[in-house]
Amino acid sequence: MNCPTNDTCSEVPENIRQHPDVFASGLEVYYSLQTQQKWRRFVTLTSTHVHDSELFQKVLQRYPNTSTVYLRGDDLKKIQLEASTNVIATEVTDDDFFVSSDESINIAHHIERLLKVQHVSSESLGQEMWSAVFSNNDNVRPDITTLILNEIYSRNDSALQEALKLAVIVPRTLPPSSPFGRMILNDVSTVFARLKACGLLTLLRSKKASLGATFVLRSTSDENDHALLTSLLLEGRKVSVWNGEKFVVKPMPLNKIDLASFRTTTAIATVQIWEPGELVR
């Protein structure tokens, strides 16, 4: 029995259901998944597809005259995803053309190559190069967080110094219900008490803009300062480490990208993608 068409394949199980005695013995089924063809298509990737990425727009606005920028891994992936979606939405308009996840990844890889991505470590960055490391408003530049921690530490109050190191570098755990995760409330309170005793709360407040901290305003100034300090210490745990003399930025992978190719709207690449075809009859 041969099923050369979809209609024939549909008739066979119906006949088996209606006449089970005929097929009760001696039935052997052979099938193949190699009867599908793939159809090749070429789509044009332009800088417009990348420009229309919401996150890439933020990068361009932040660095209007800069050719080289450093992105964290999650930010690069988000730009690739947004740009790939734009390519598929504007270049593949056939209702019957399905772009698989593999082909979406293929497009994303082309975008990475066109951005001339180089994978580097933050350890290779000089202090002046941190200004080219893109950060969302949700996170503070690691070098700024570390700089503020060192500025507080340099006040030469031994109790404050020990409390600060304890709050940032000593691993602690709290019940999952804790809003501060790994942060110990006593650590924050101890550092806060020493800052207040040393008259350094003004220093902390002066760093609010640099920290980019967002929190609900409390009823008292002390509560606001406490929330700001908590934000600083939480960020410090993520990005800073003690090297025996001072706080330094934890080594982190970064992606160096070239913005020059994306400041025009010209076509910059042709990408080959494949469409699963219908069964061969």
| Core vs surface per residue 134-164: b (16+ CB within 10 A) or e | bbeeeebbbbbbbbbbeebbeeebeebbebb
Tell me the longest C-alpha to C-alpha distance in the chain. 95
Domain boundaries, the chain: 1-31, 137-252
Global confidence as pTM:
0.65
Q: Which residues pair with 45 in a beta bridge?
A: 269
Tens digits of pLDDT across the chain (281 residues): 556 566 666 777 777 777 666 666 556 655 554 445 556 667 777 778 888 889 999 998 889 888 889 998 889 999 988 888 887 777 665 555 555 566 677 788 888 888 888 999 988 888 778 889 998 755 578 888 899 999 999 988 898 998 899 888 866 555 545 554 445 566 788 888 888 888 888 888 887 777 665 544 454 577 888 888 888 888 888 889 999 999 999 998 999 998 876 766 565 766 666 555 444 33
Report the C-alpha gap between 119 and 135 in whole angstroms: 17
Backbone angles phi, psi at 146, to 5 degrees: -65, -40
CA atoms within a 13 Å half-sphere pointing along the CA-CB vector of 21: 0
Tokens of 35: 């009867």
